[in-house]
Amino acid sequence: MQVLAEDVRLDPVWRRAEPYMRARKNDVHIPLSFHWCRRLLAKHPEADAEICLLAILLHDIGWFAIDMDEIVAQGFRSENFLTSDVRYRHEAEGVRLAREVLADCGYGDNVIGAVCEIIDGHDTRPEPHHLNDRIVRDADKLWRYEVAGIAVAVDWFGITPSAYADQIEGELARFETEAGRAMAEAELAVTRDRLMLHVI
């Protein structure tokens, strides 16, 4: 991946947030989602790249404050896992930690407020607030369509790669942008081929 100047400027945020990424495979999920966010921003130059990149970088660090067994039981395997208590808690903790990280890195109240507005409800809020929010929500989903995303998710959900690929294919309508949906469809086709899902 080409390193852009804007990415280098975010290095202090990555370093400050790194301890919170050692939970729930966020040290895999967040960098991959960051990559997808950059691709979506290339399709939407009217969006605020700084806000989107900071939000995707920090959106899931709140999982650090929740026990992994609780995350799996309530956040992935319960009947209403998308609206489970741990989903709301990780958003609230994410806002709290993001405020600390961004303040420590010298960001002002306007940036902190815009980033935290996206983090708060990124999984549970029915509708996005604006384009920046839509981009972050799509970037958060897109990693699931990669080989790495499926490899991680099958353990969380306790299902086969083929079953998970079918599940996320059925969720394509949830994408907020046409670009995100197209990227997901294309990536899933590649993933199905690489994982031999037509056979196993």
pLDDT reported for residue 3: 46
List, for residues 28-56, the tens digit of each pLDDT value. 999 999 999 999 999 999 999 999 999 99
Amino acid letter, residue 152: V
Mean pLDDT of the chain: 91
Burial of 22 (0-12, 13-18, 19+ CB in 10 A): exposed
**In this predicted structure, what is the pLDDT of residue 8?**
73
Alpha helices in the chain (DSSP H): 5-9, 11-17, 26-43, 49-58, 68-75, 85-104, 109-119, 131-142, 147-157, 161-169, 178-194
**Which residues in the chain land under pLDDT 70?**
1-6, 67-83
